[in-house]
Structure 1
Amino acid sequence: MKFGTKAIHAGQEPDPTTGAIMTPIYQTSTYAQASPGQHKGYEYARTQNPTRTALEANLAALENAQFGRCFSSGMGATDAILKTLEPGDEIVSTNDLYGGTYRIFTKIYERYGLKFTFVNMQDLESVKKALSPKTRLVWIETPTNPMMSIVDIRAVVNLAKSVGAKTVVDNTFASPYLQNPMDMGADMVMHSVTKYIAGHSDVVMGFVGSNDPKIDELIGFVQNSSGAIPGPQDCFLVLRGIKTLHVRMDRHCDNGEQVAKYLKNHPKVKHVYWPGFEDHANHEVAKKQMKRFGGMISFVLADDSQAAAFKVLENLKVFTLAESLGGVESLAGHPASMTHASIPREQRLEAGLTDSLIRLSVGIEDIEDLIEDLKNAIG
């Protein structure tokens, strides 16, 4: 089954009671039992909900995974993965990482005995050197947030296997439409569903997919035990959003390409980070493992100062200054003071994340309006 068909139909059947085409919102906390322990597969809504079941099956299908679990946020999904580890376990991750992920790694789980090492994952030799017999998990993010760095998923997976470590890929920036880490050997794929998958800036949710029943059992145990589950209304909204994911992503990519090229040719722009450029680091890897290059772009002005960046952000009219990404509307942000403020400045600068970097989530508006907005804001 092709992607667009899966987006609309996978995991979903007409309601057996009414024939409703759309999966109903099962707004209930519990379910009737014929006698103790005898039920129709559902007993308590923290453990299962039919709307959530349909969404989990749909997302798993989109990622070519056998199993899927949804959480109340992307950080809830990250938290669940980390809870499958033991004190003393080592995790290797990229040094160009979403600020919220870095925060939960270093401010919460380091306190419970997990050890994290951050390396430039574009350099496979650095990854290899960071691995040890105690490495249990390699955390890949590609494209990275916000530098758009491309990590060779298959190569890193093979390195992780050499020491018996599992791999998880944060696939949020690409979405399942542009990239499928499970097909490249990853043990787990995770998403902030909040972003491209839901696509309308009205839901907060996370997802973990896998092909190993033992991994799914562990993730499911944490999901039920810790209780970071999404409600049925949110699951319904995401199911609705997914039906246009493939259509939206093509428009995001079309607009993203034109915005990236406009910025690259602008005399007041110093550098543009977008995987579609031939001079972008690991561009050939991106061509190999991604269908297209996405609608996320970061750039630095020729006047490489925070004040200049703030002025541009404050002058935008169509792009909205806000955190998050992946919605139908275009957003602009300042990672150093917003999404990545929890990362120490020295480490941000080491990864190239300067105080003047601007990140764009290019939406699906008319491209002429987006270009005109940037033209007026940059001057």
Structure 2
Amino acid sequence: MTDTPKPFAPGAFLHLRANQLAKGAPIAPPITTASMFHLPGQPDGSDFYGRATNPTWNDVEKQLTVLEQAPTRLFPSGMAAISAALFATCRSKTRLLLPSDGYYTTRLLADRFLAQLGVTVVERPTAAFEDGGFDGFDVVFLESPSNPGLDMMDIAATAQAVRAAGGITIADNTTLTPLGQRPLDLGVDIVVSSDTKAMGGHSDLLLGHVSSRNDDVMEAITDWRLYSGAIPGPHAAWLLHRGLETLEVRFDRMCHNAEALAARLAEHPSVQTLRFPGLPQDPAHNLARAQCSRFGFLISFTLADEATAEAFINDCPLIRPATSFGGVHSSAERRARWGDAVDPGFVRLSVGIEPAEELWAAIEAAL
């Protein structure tokens, strides 16, 4: 197990690599594309083969380890990270609990593959996740806020109850990042994230990571990556290293913008329902205040119907109609098109770093 985590310090994080450099070394990490490494004699922990280690990954994993305050492994996508966490903890006759309103691909993975291997998959809605208790569940996967509905659960209480029942918890923290919420500090055993989104921030890479303070878990995660071959590319890793150095600044701007926009959207006559944990009237507000340091950059709301939602998304010049979220550009999509159990006019808005007043003017005009 790791020592007690230290508070995240953005300044020290920015100089994490630079403070360890020899004279004449590049400030930015090199992109190492080698599949083979010079290895005379016996293996001694040095880089030896591109499926096992890579110097560019190592630099990014050092960054992520500081962010999460826990050992971390990098994966080629968020779903690769989720797959590693689930396949490292589930086996035949495992009982797995998932949020019924979380990211839908996690449920598809469980239903189409884990269930075929003898895993019993059970689903519950995020807002009622604790109902029924956790006795008999070996692995409990949670996502708070849920994607796309932004419901929340008490992470600390859930983690404590699952541990008391003999289970292990996995939390998908993609929507808030370690700067908005720290599931490991709240007692969760494993955290996963899609770094494709806010962590990278520029909509130009696919990566994910798994972090845990449990040494046995991290050994299993590392073995899964080595033996499955689910390895990240060095160029994507390099892009993530660059993106992480501006995460604190980007995330702060995105959260500020979202708070300003959510309050105005909630009062707009075209908006029928709206969810944003930062609003005092949101059902999850008190819980968000207790367990989150920021309220995030995602807003969900419902417009009159599918046509109205599509017109809003497609006509606003400062919103990109795109799936995924967390980039510097504001983006939105109508999540019903992917089969999420939401209203046809439901919109998930990912707020970017544009000037808030300019962004609001464009949104108001489109509405």
What TM bracket, shorter-length normalisation?
Answer: over 0.9
Percent identity over paired residues: 32
List gaps (5 residues or longer) in structure 1. none
| 2:201 maps to amino acid | G
1:82 aligned onto 2:71: no
The answer to which of 1-10 and 110-119 deviates more is: 1-10
Which of 288, 295, 300 is the matching residue for 2:302? Answer: 300
Q: Distance in 1 between matches of 2:187 and 2:220?
A: 19
Partner residue of 1:32 out of 31, 38, 61: 38
For the 8 Å contact 1:32–1:39, the answer to whether it is kept is no
Alpha-carbon separation, structure 2, partners of 1:152 and 1:193? 24
Query: RMSD between aligned alpha carbons?
Result: 1.6
Secondary structure of the residue aligned to 2:231 is coil
Cα distance per residue 1:291-312 (max 9 Å; x no partner): 11111001012x2x22221222
Write the letter of the residue equivalent to 2:141: W
After superposition, residues 154-165 of structure 1 pair within 5 angstroms as 154-165=156-167
Counterpart of 2:61 in structure 1 is 56
Aligned to 2:205: 203
Q: Answer yes or no: is the 8 Å Cα contact 2:8–2:66 preserved in 1.
A: no
What secondary structure is seen at the aligned counterpart in 2 of 1:126? coil
Unpaired segments ≥5 residues, structure 2? 1-6
Query: What does residue 287 of structure 2 align with?
Result: 285
Shift of the 117–10 alpha-carbon distance from structure 1 to 2, 3 Å rule, reads farther
Distance 1:375 1:142, change over 3 A: same
- AA paired with 1:55? V
Is this contact kept in 2: 1:3–1:62, CA < 8 A? no
Deviation of 1:107 after TM superposition, in Å, equals 2.0
Q: Structure 2 residue aligned with 1:132, among 124, 132, 135?
A: 135
Taking the aligned partners of 1:158 and 1:175, their CA distance within structure 2 comes to 21
The reply to whether residue 185 of structure 1 matches residue 187 of structure 2 is: yes
**Correspondence for 1:214:** 216
Residue 354 of structure 1 aligns with which residue? 343
Higher relative contact order (CA 8 A, sep 6+): 1
Whether the aligned pair in 1 keeps the contact of 2:85 and 2:192 (CA below 8 Å) is no
> In 2, are the aligned partners of 1:198 and 1:237 still within 8 Å (CA)?
yes
The answer to whether the 8 Å contact 2:175/2:298 transfers is: yes
In 2, the alpha carbon distance for the partners of 1:6 and 1:106 equals 43
One-letter identity of the residue aligned with 2:40? A
TM-score (ref. length: structure 1): 0.91
Question: SS where residue 181 of structure 1 aligns?
Answer: coil
* Amino acid across the alignment from 1:171: N
Contact kept? 1:119, 1:127, Cα under 8 Å? no
Query: Displacement of 1:224 after TM fit?
Result: 0.5
Report if aligned partners of 1:64, 1:183 keep a CA contact under 8 Å in 2. Answer: no
Equivalent residue number for residue 119 of structure 1 = 124
Q: CA deviation at 1:18?
A: 4.0
Taking the aligned partners of 2:183 and 2:295, their CA distance within structure 1 comes to 15
- 91-100 or 167-176: which moved more? 91-100
String of CA shifts for 1:330-374, please: whole Å, max 9, x gaps: 001111114xx3x5xxxx1xxxx2221001000001112211221
Three-state SS of the structure 2 residue aligned to 1:24 is coil
What are the Cα deviations for residues 84-140 of structure 1, in whole angstroms up to 9, with x where unaligned? Answer: 210110111212111211211212221222121111233354151xx232x111111
Alignment of 1:213-292 (within 5 A): 213-292=215-294
CA contact (8 A) 1:120 1:126 kept: no
Partner of 1:138, secondary structure, is: strand
Q: Which residue of 2 aligns with 1:321?
A: 321
Q: CA 1:258–1:93 in structure 2 vs 1: closer, same or farther (change >3 Å)?
A: same
C-alpha spacing 1:29/1:269, structure 2 compared with 1 (3 Å): same
Cα distance, 1:7 vs structure 2: 3.4
Q: CA deviation at 1:6?
A: 4.6
Deviations 1:235-277 (A, max 9, x none): 1111111111111111001110111111111011111110011
**Match of 2:28?**
22
Residue in 2 that maps onto 1:69: 73
Q: Deviations over 1:141-170 (max 9, x none)?
A: 011101111111101001111211111110
Find the partner of 2:361 among 365, 369, 372. 372
CA contact (8 A) 1:325 1:331 kept: yes
Give the number of aligned pairs: 360
Aligned residue for 2:210, secondary structure, equals strand
